[in-house]
Structures are given as structure tokens and as C-alpha cells.
Amino acid sequence: MRKILHIDINSFYASVECLLDESLNGLPVAVSGAVSERHGVVLAKNGIAKALGVKTGMTVYEAKKLVPNIVIKETHYPLYIKYSKAVKLIFKEYTDYVESFGIDEAWLDITNCRRYGGDAYKIADEIRVRVKDEIGLTVSIGVSFNKVFAKLGSDLKKPDAISVISYENFKDIVYKLPVENLLYVGRATKKKLNNLTIKSIGDLANFSEKVLVQHLGKWGAILHSYALGKDTSEVKKYSVKDEYKSVGNSLTFYRDLDNEIDVETLILLLAESVCSRMVDYGYKYARTVSLVTTNDVLVSKVRMKKLKHPSNLSSDVADCAMELFKENYDWSNKVRGLGVSVSDFTNKEQLAIDEDVKDKNKKENLEHTVENLRKKFGRSSINRAIVLREKKFEELDIRDSHSLSSLNKNDK
């Protein structure tokens, strides 16, 4: 029987901020985007703020109205990445099989770890104590015989806790949980399952696999097997590059966007920052582009599309993202925020049938030259003409102030 841990760093962004500023201890704290530019949106909150009703996705204005004494901290992504890596270095002392699931979560396969005679709970507890004592953060850990149930376990008790879901007890623990607690069951999938009268994981386990496949395709069979405890997916061996399954940036502009030119401008800036980061992380080309749109009533939608050919050019990424926008956004509301990300990386170059090699090389050389100039003289030292239309666009430093690089957790 395998021994799998899922470890979740509690309230990660907010915990790092509190760790660096002791005056925040005992206060409600939330982390948001750039408040100076806009009201901002709550990206994370500590346990105190959560207990008072603050939720991720709230505007800072709403959070302050609900909790007047809340302390708002703007994001410091380089610091979060630094602490994430420090925690994962501890994990690596127990196993080479450490698979990240975002900046603040990871699976560990400790089947072959011989500490405490291979006792998974004792190993998990030692890791929990070490992260707290050596780094100052707390974690919640799920211990189980597969990845899906380990993930469920880490969500059962928070903060600073361990939950065990074994082969013997999983039905008693798991089957009564809401079906949306199961990994990869997001809002869209939950709605489909609820329409089939499936409310709990137990309902899913006892439901007809054939009917599930009819309504959800092959994904229905996969979710059914997860509910039955039959997840056999392996924990991947640790790799620094595997920290970044997608690279993306997002931004809430200081005002709502009401026309395609403004949207195109922001998408271009986001695409440039994303491609710059992608190259820094050692990836040559991406094959998929994702676009997140958030309207002025805080409804977000994610759409993705394959590039015509693998690329590292911001112009290709921006064109693809703009196509996604035009195909999916109906302008019933203004645009509050946008996010662009790339994924499905490859080191193999593949030209389109009608693509001119010399022209492609010229574009790559131009973008690389521009990037080198920006690194030397600052991000705003050279800009596209479209960016110069408005001072606020020209002043944006998206790459360094709003970068996000982590595993995707999209609803499938």
C-alpha cells in the first residue's frame, strides 16, 4: 500500500506577511493586488480575517467595510516563491518524489521512507513540526494511500493539523463530504453532478459509471474511480522546472475597460511579461494560451486555446489571447481585470506550414533585444506605440509587480 502525503501551507501569502511583520500578529490580515492603483481584490487572508467573514475575491473596499480594522498588504510574489522553495527543501529530505500543486501545496510519496519504521503519521508530524520551527509557517497534512484522498485529508483540519484517510476508514470519512470537495470537481462539474442528484462523494461512488460517462464523458469515469479510492496516479519526482506548469500574469487596472483597444493594450503588456518569465524559467516554447476575464461585477471566466505552433513570442501569445477575448466576451459588462498565462511547454520548435523562417527569426531577435534593453534600463525604457496612448499603461511594471508562476488548478 502506498503512503502519500498532501501538504498545504496554511494561509500562505498572509502567513508570510505576518511572519515578516510581527506587528500583524493577532490582527485580521488580507493580501491583495495593487491597492494604490485600484480598490484591489483579496487574494488571501489569515485565519482571523477568515473567521470574521473575509473571503477571497472580495474587493478591498468590501473587506474593509466588513472588518474596519483589517490590515491590507500588497503582494510580494518573489518572497512567496522564496518561502515556498524553503519549505519544499525540507520535503526533499524525506523523498525525491515531491510534486508541487501550486506555490503552497505539494504531494509527497514517502512509501520508501524508513524514518520511524516507515510510520507515515510520524513522518508527517515531524515535517509539520520542522516547517513550523525552522521556517515559521504552519501546514495541514493529509495522509492516505493515494493522491486524491491525501488532498482531501489536508483540507479536513486546519491549521497546523494532520488527518489520516486509510483504506480501512475512507468510506466513513470521505463518503459524507460534499462532492465539490473531491479534487477537480469545480463549479461547472459540481453543477452537472448536482443535476444528476449527486450531492456527496458517497453519492458519486454509488452512482452508475455508465450514466456518468454519458453526461461527463471520460472524465465521469475518472471521477467515479476517485470516489471509489482507485486513484493510481503517481507522485512525480521533484524538479525545479516542474514548479512551473504554467506561467501567467494578471492585473486589475485602475479603471474599468470599456473598449477593445484598451483590452488589447493590457493583453500585450501581460503577454510580454509572461513570455519574459517563461524564458527565465528555462522554457523555450509554449503551446497553449489561457485568458482570464473578470467583469465589473466580479464574475471571472477562463478560456484557453492552442497556439498555431509552439512559440515564445509575446505577439503570438497576445494575438491568441485577443482572439479568445473577441470569441467569448459579449461586453454586457465592462472589464475589471485580465489575466494571461501560457502552458504546455516544449523545447521543440515547430513551424507553421505557411510561416517564413527568416521573418520568425527577425521577430524573435527583436523581442529578445527589447527584453535585454528593458532588463538593463528598466521596463518602461522601451514600449510599444499602443501603450503610449495613456500614461497609466506606460507606467505599469507588470512583470515585476504582478507576476504569478505556479501549477494550474483549473476545473476540468
- pLDDT tens across 138-176, in order? 999 999 999 999 999 999 999 999 999 999 999 999 999
pLDDT tens, position by position, 289-344? 999 898 888 788 889 899 988 888 888 999 999 999 999 999 999 998 888 989 88
Mean pLDDT within 122-133? 98
Confidence class for position 269, pLDDT limits 50, 70, 90 = confident
Catalytic residue among 105, 264, 272, 367: 105
Q: Which three cell numbers stand for residue 310?
A: 509552439
Mean pLDDT within 109-120? 96
- CA–centroid distance for 392 within its chain: 27
* Residue whose cell numbers read 476540468: 412
Q: Where in the chain is the domain with CATH 3.30.70.270?
A: 1-165
Mean pLDDT within 245-260? 82
Look up the CATH number of domain 244-406: 3.30.1490.100
Confidence class for position 263, pLDDT limits 50, 70, 90 = very high
Mean pLDDT within 68-88? 89
Q: Is 210 exposed, middle or buried (0-12, 13-18, 19+ CB in 10 A)?
A: exposed
Mean pLDDT within 132-142? 97
pLDDT at 365: 65
Which of the 8 DSSP states describes residue 317?
A: H
Q: Where in the chain is the domain with CATH 3.30.1490.100?
A: 244-406
Mean pLDDT within 60-89? 90
Whether residue 105 lies in the annotated active site: yes
Confidence class for position 88, pLDDT limits 50, 70, 90 = very high
pLDDT at 385: 55
Q: At what angle do helices 209-216 and 218-227 cross, to 10 degrees?
A: 140
pLDDT at 33: 67
pLDDT at 273: 84
Does the pTM surpass 0.85? The reply is no
Least confident of 76-80, 145-149, 259-263: 76-80
Q: Where in the chain is the domain with CATH 1.10.150.20?
A: 175-227
pLDDT at 380 > cutoff 70: no
> Which has more confidence, 402 or 232?
232
pLDDT at 112 > cutoff 80: yes
Name the CATH architecture for the domain at 175-227. Answer: Orthogonal Bundle (1.10)
pLDDT at 324: 94
pLDDT at 358: 59
pLDDT at 92 > cutoff 70: yes
Facing residues of 406 across strands?
Answer: 246
CATH class of 1-165: alpha beta
Mean pLDDT within 4-9? 97
